Amino acid sequence: MTETTPQITPEILLHGYASGVFPMSDSAHDPKIYWVDPHLRGIVPLDRFHVSRRLARRIKRQQYTIAIDQRFDAVVTACASRPETWINAEIFDLYIELHTLGFAHSVEVMEGAELVGGVYGVALNGAFFGESMFSTRTDTSKIALTYLVARLKHGGFTLLDTQFQTDHLESLGATEISRDTYHQKLTDALDVQADFLKLPIDTQPSEILHLSNHTS
């Protein structure tokens, strides 16, 4: 973990991702930012993502509407609003800038006009760096992640980086790999041309589940 210089730019941030590191702060009120390159890296192998029967039923019920990049600021705000967060003001502004530049994206779960879940991250060639997700209803972060995985697979991505492993992510197929293995996967992914917006927004839930779910 290395403390950054006082000011970083979107270009420097993208270079950091391409080099295998990501930014964090100790809290929302701490102005310092650190580059992190953990010994064990969390990833979701896109061919190993697992959707439980309960989650699949919830997705098929279409209780929620899914949107892409319509409420990016609100998704980041929700992720940064937890009592403990690594997203300080500078990091927040950097992701907003990356979104404006077309590198950062969000998947939003809507209940009517209310944002009830979502995930956001950074797309760089064939790699997607998942930054954070949130939910205010049962399983809405998992729904967002399922739609994200389907979008990444359809768009030709080869790497979904989750930074760290959690029980929540492990239940969906996430795993940990060594730093060296991650850097090799990242190198390979950066040689791939992928398209985050290739999957039509009106893709039916059955197709989302078919694209995302590993069933063997």
For the stretch 135-194, pLDDT in tens is: 999 999 999 999 999 999 999 999 999 988 887 788 888 999 999 999 999 999 999 999
pTM: 0.92
> The domain at 40-212 falls in which architecture?
3-Layer(aba) Sandwich (3.40)
What are the extents of the domains in the chain?
A: 40-212
What pLDDT is stored for residue 164 in this prediction?
A: 84
What pLDDT is stored for residue 90 in this prediction?
A: 85
Q: Which two tokens stand for residue 121?
A: 């991250």
Q: Which residue ranges of the chain lie beneath pLDDT 70?
A: 1-6, 26-29, 83-86, 215-216
The pLDDT mean for the chain works out to: 90
What pLDDT is stored for residue 84 in this prediction?
A: 67
What pLDDT is stored for residue 26 in this prediction?
A: 66
